Amino acid sequence: MTSRDNAVGAKAYFPGPKSENEAWVRAEFQAILDDWFDWRKSDRTGDPAAISRDDRLSADFLAERERLSQELDTLKTLMRRETATYSPRYAGHMVSELTLPALFGQLTALLHNPNNTSKEVSRVGTVIEAEAIGMLAEMIGYDPATARGHFTSGGTVANFEGVWRARYRLDHWLSLALWIAESSGEPLNVFEAAHMGWTRYAALVKQHAPDPGALRNCSAVAGNPADVFRRLSKAAGHDYLGPVVLVPASKHFSWRKAANVFGLGEEAFWEIGLDDEGRFDIADLERRVTEAEAAARPVLAVVSVAGTTETGEIDPVDRIADRLDQWRAERGWRIWHHVDAAYGGFLCTIPDGPHETVLQPATIAALKAVSRAHSVTIDPHKLGFVPYACGAFLARDADHYTVSVFDAPYLERPQISDDPWTSTLEGSRSAAGATAVWLTGRTIGFAPDRFGALLAGMIRSGDVFRNEVLGGLDGVHVLEPVDANIVCFSLGAPGEALSAANRRTRALYDALCEAGDFVVTTTTLGSVNHRSQIARHIARFDGEADEARLVLIRCVFMNPYWASEAIRDAMVPQFAATIRQALSTLD
Ligand SMILES: *Cc1c(COP(=O)(O)O)cnc(C)c1O
């Protein structure tokens, strides 16, 4: 298939901004309904019906039908005022058009309503979920035969799944070490023990044969944390202040929620600084781990971000994995690495394919290293074009997946039930996200010349916006680098104070909202860790850093129709005119 043919073929995967695919999409919707009704009718054909023809003709029945019909009309009318995120004029949040495979997949499961909490209420849904997880695993470079995972309500919960497991693993190791220290009276090195690894754990269990009940009593997760911390302090001969999680300053706010939910305290989430391109700074990781070791605070996990929520930056996942490998080899430390690829996970379809050049070499290297992490978050409801609510949590293998159960320690894993609820934070879960991803995988497919081509097209749309819309405007500065399909820009006149530039950028945003022709968003980089990135940005207009935050207008280019020439030809000049008009109202 040539890329030209592919571009036309891809038009079969979306409804069309003007409902161009209406006729046959209607037929498919109808076919889904036909099959659903038939499924019910064909089961136990000898059983009686519950609703007779007379019932359906009775006045009471007809009145209720009428009420339902009217209120449904009310709902439909309300929804017509909903944000038109499918529109090529929408470049706001991380949402756009849905694909037809995702919509059909979602709708089909919705009607059958399986609950993936258990195989008893999801005979088919759980099987499809496992296959869809296999597809996502393969996409990011995990071995689909050994990787494990499940769908979540979104990236927030998928990130929690990572913390949950990393915390349990560390707790297993530390509980055993505490038990040994207390029974032998030998001093405890908390930092070493907390990163000991399963091989050493297994050897120690064999050597000391601890009673499982006694181990539970040494666990800060299964036992009493205050008591365990007190005893860890005593065994170590110094105060034990608990583990830390290392997360870059560009993190999503779900990480702060994780601190609250897991009771670690926000203080335990240590921010990793950013380099002047806004990416995870390896030198700061070095400093933070050294600091953690000196404070005898175990590193529960290192988090990197593949596609930051605000600006789409891809952290150097490869170099972070290298550094962790080095600590493992030189010091024996096993540190959990979680990649928050909620936004950027699907970009893993681009490397090693025909469209690879839309990405910078560093981004390609980072995306290819996502598979080196212990666990990964992916949001199909972002760049997977799947309806809400659909996130996914993936672990490299069963060891890293099933670790979140205290009573089934590592060595006795075969005893763990394989019913999904035993290893998911959420209880009842819809199968609809899984079926949507499954049908997407079976049709568009997550190969570089399929899904990769689609996403590469969106990165190119961002470039078109940047070059053809912003390129013609004076005093507009794009935040560099642009790692993905999010283009952020600010205003800035030569020598202007940042506070004044920020005010004008904010006013431009307000004017664009007022005009209402195109939807964009705004973001502010304001952490102390953004300082060097801000300095680098304002140096472009010789700006004066009189305040420590940078206001940006943020445009997410994930509308599939921008790949169409007709749409581009119409949108580019109109977008430029809208911005020019908004700029003219500023002073
Ligand atoms: C969106 C996002 C999340 C949270 O995902 P939800 O699906 O909104 O819960 C987490 N991390 C990153 C990097 C994100 O972009």
Residues 329-373: tens digit of each pLDDT: 999 999 999 999 999 999 999 999 999 999 999 999 999 999 999
Substitution site in 152, 160, 252 for ligand 1 pocket (most atoms within 8 Å of beta carbon): 252
- Considering the domain architecture, whether residues 176 and 287 belong to the same structural domain is answered as yes
Question: Residue 380 C-alpha to ligand 1 middle, in angstroms?
Answer: 10
Give residue-wise pLDDT tens across range 497-520: 999 999 999 999 999 999 999 999
Give residue-wise pLDDT tens across range 479-502: 999 999 999 999 999 999 999 999
**Helix or strand (DSSP H, E) at 365:** helix 361-368
Specify the residue with its C-alpha closest to ligand 1, atom 5.
155
- Answer with the one of 378, 408, 426 that is the final residue of a domain: 378
Residues 6+ apart with CB under 8 A from 513: none
- Considering the domain architecture, whether residues 315 and 456 belong to the same structural domain is answered as no
**464 occurs within a structural domain:** yes
Q: What are phi and psi of 371, to 5 degrees?
A: -70, -10
CATH number of the domain where residue 567 is located: 3.90.1150.10
**275 occurs within a structural domain:** yes
**149 occurs within a structural domain:** no
- Considering the domain architecture, whether residues 471 and 560 belong to the same structural domain is answered as yes
pLDDT band at 212 (very low <50, low <70, confident <90, very high): confident
Q: How many domains does the chain have?
A: 2
- Considering the domain architecture, whether residues 179 and 323 belong to the same structural domain is answered as yes
Place of tokens 């964009």: 520
- Answer with the one of 378, 400, 427 that is the final residue of a domain: 378
Task: Report which ligand 1 atom has the smallest distance to the Cα of 391.
Answer: 7
Task: Report which ligand 1 atom has the smallest distance to the Cα of 305.
Answer: 13
- Considering the domain architecture, whether residues 365 and 510 belong to the same structural domain is answered as no
**43 occurs within a structural domain:** no
Within 10 angstroms of residue 549's Cβ, the number of other Cβ atoms is 14
Local structure of residue 477 (DSSP, 8 states): E
Task: Report which ligand 1 atom has the smallest distance to the Cα of 157.
Answer: 9
Give residue-wise pLDDT tens across range 91-113: 999 999 999 999 999 999 999 99
pLDDT at 418: 73
Q: CA-CA distances (angstroms) from residue 174 to 189, 226, 293, 372?
A: 10, 15, 15, 24
Q: Is the CB of 156 under 6 A from ligand 1?
A: yes
Give residue-wise pLDDT tens across range 364-383: 999 999 999 999 999 999 99
**433 occurs within a structural domain:** no
Q: What is the mean pLDDT of residues 149-161?
A: 98
Question: Residue 158 C-alpha to ligand 1 middle, in angstroms?
Answer: 9
Give residue-wise pLDDT tens across range 303-313: 999 999 999 99
Q: Is the pLDDT of residue 562 over 60?
A: yes
Q: CA-CA distances (angstroms) from residue 578 to 96, 570, 575?
A: 21, 13, 5
Q: Is the pLDDT of residue 430 over 60?
A: yes
Place of tokens 């209720």: 64
**341 occurs within a structural domain:** yes
- Answer with the one of 350, 378, 406 that is the final residue of a domain: 378
Q: Is the CB of 154 under 6 A from ligand 1?
A: yes
Q: Is the CB of 391 under 6 A from ligand 1?
A: yes
CA gap 268, 220 in Å, rounded:
15
pLDDT at 527: 79
**333 occurs within a structural domain:** yes
- Considering the domain architecture, whether residues 219 and 344 belong to the same structural domain is answered as yes
- Considering the domain architecture, whether residues 273 and 169 belong to the same structural domain is answered as yes
Q: Is the pLDDT of residue 410 over 60?
A: no
Q: Is the pLDDT of residue 4 over 60?
A: no
pLDDT band at 417 (very low <50, low <70, confident <90, very high): low
Tokens representing 400 are 């890293």
Specify the residue with its C-alpha closest to ligand 1, atom 4.
155
Q: What does 23-34 look like in DSSP terms, one character per residue?
A: HHHHHHHHHHHH
Q: Which amino acid is at 139?
A: M
Residue 297 belongs to domain spanning? 155-378
pTM: 0.96
**527 occurs within a structural domain:** yes
